[in-house]
Every structure is written in structure tokens, then in C-alpha cells.
């Protein structure tokens, strides 16, 4: 990729639950035993990593 760490299962799960299942970051934090701030941070990092991939699909 672009020198970043690979996307972990937990990061992908956070994003999927938030964006597709309508589960709030506070609920994800409880499920994963993290703070709400940690969930928001992971989601932001994941969005940043997925943006180039999503942009490729939107261009075609």
C-alpha cells in the first residue's frame, strides 16, 4: 500500500458497524473494551486509509 500499517479486523469492524449497521462509536467502545475516543481515532485513521481505494472505485 502506501507505507501504512495494514487494516486490522478491529478497524474494519469499527467502520462497518458504524457506517453500515448504524451502531454508534460509544456502543462499539463498550463491545471492544476501548474508550470512545479510541474508537473515533481508529475510525478516522481507517477512513483516511480507505479514501484512495474508494476514490478508485468512484472514478470508474
Does a structural domain hold residue 30? yes
pLDDT value at residue 1: 43
- For the chain, how many structural domains are there in total? 1
Question: By the 8 A CB rule, do 34 and 9 touch?
Answer: no
pLDDT of residue 37: 95
Q: Is residue 3 part of a domain?
A: no
Report the pLDDT value the prediction gives residue 60, as an integer from 0 to 100.
62
Residuewise pLDDT in 10s, the chain (60 residues)? 445 566 677 777 767 766 767 778 888 889 889 999 998 898 888 888 888 877 777 776
What is the residue range of 49's domain? 9-59
pLDDT on residue 6:
66
Q: What is the pLDDT of residue 36?
A: 94
Has residue 1 been placed in a domain? no
Measured between alpha carbons, how far is 1 from 4 in angstroms, rounded to an integer?
Answer: 7
Amino acid at each position: 500500500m502506501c507505507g501504512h500499517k495494514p487494516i486490522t479486523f478491529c478497524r474494519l469492524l469499527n467502520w462497518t458497524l458504524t457506517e453500515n449497521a448504524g451502531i454508534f462509536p460509544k456502543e462499539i467502545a463498550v463491545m471492544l473494551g476501548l474508550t470512545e475516543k479510541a474508537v473515533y481515532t481508529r475510525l478516522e485513521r481507517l477512513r483516511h486509509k480507505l479514501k484512495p481505494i474508494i476514490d478508485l472505485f468512484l472514478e470508474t
